[in-house]
Structure 1
Amino acid sequence: MRTNWREQVKYLMSIVVLGSLLITTSAVAGPQVGIMVGSDNGVSIRHHGYQVEVGINDASIALDKTYYFNNSPYFYWGGGVKWQDHSNRKLGARAVFGAATKVEDFVFFAEAKPIFYVVNGASVQLEGTLGVRYQF
């Protein structure tokens, strides 16, 4: 049975709230929570190199593990998965290439994400986001 988009958004937002509570209560170093715009608008959470992104306009959720390039505190790379449930369900593997800089407690970031969708038709897409996260 197919649910409407409002129920999907409520479900995704509850995942974000639960995830952010778990991250902030178990964190030794400061987690980051913020917003992103671009290929998918939504919420971005980052902690210890793991990123969770919940997209609102595509009803999606993504999990990535990132690593900084050697000798660079600004540029990172990584990989992960994305589940999208907007018009048709899609699951894909993706790479992440990003840049970030911190100003006070705010982290500004830009990311390019080539993704290979493998469920409901194979396709390759290039997604990108800009955003800001607050570091606790």
Structure 2
Amino acid sequence: MVNIFDNKEYLSFFCFIFFSLFFCVFMLFLSSLLGGKSLSRYKHTPFESGIAPVGDTHLHFSVKFYLVAMFFVIFDMEALYLYVWSVSIVETGWTGFIEAFIFILFLLLSLFYLVRIKALNWTHK
């Protein structure tokens, strides 16, 4: 049975986390202590090049924008995985090739599914 506190690598990791959190809290405290405070009626009004805002600032976007953004993030992870695979292709050998093939096949099937259910179609039904 391995005790995790016997290894000095864990101790250095926990020290790093502790000092990082301490430094963040210290900087936030210091900025709130030394920072200027302004109380005026114009503090929370939007400012755009000296021009007063006109109309409503809330824009309504279609849900399709969010869907395409999520699809982009999902399929962008493919590029990261394939980059790591291409760098370590010699070490992974045929096993890595088969895993990458299965991964690409899975992504292609999911892309065909998205096209089939018309998730990428911008026209109205």
* TM-score bracket, shorter-length normalisation: under 0.3
TM-score when normalising by structure 2: 0.26
Q: Which structure has more strand as a fraction of its residues?
A: 1
More helix by share: 2
For CA contacts below 8 A with separation 6 or more, give which structure has more relative contact order.
1
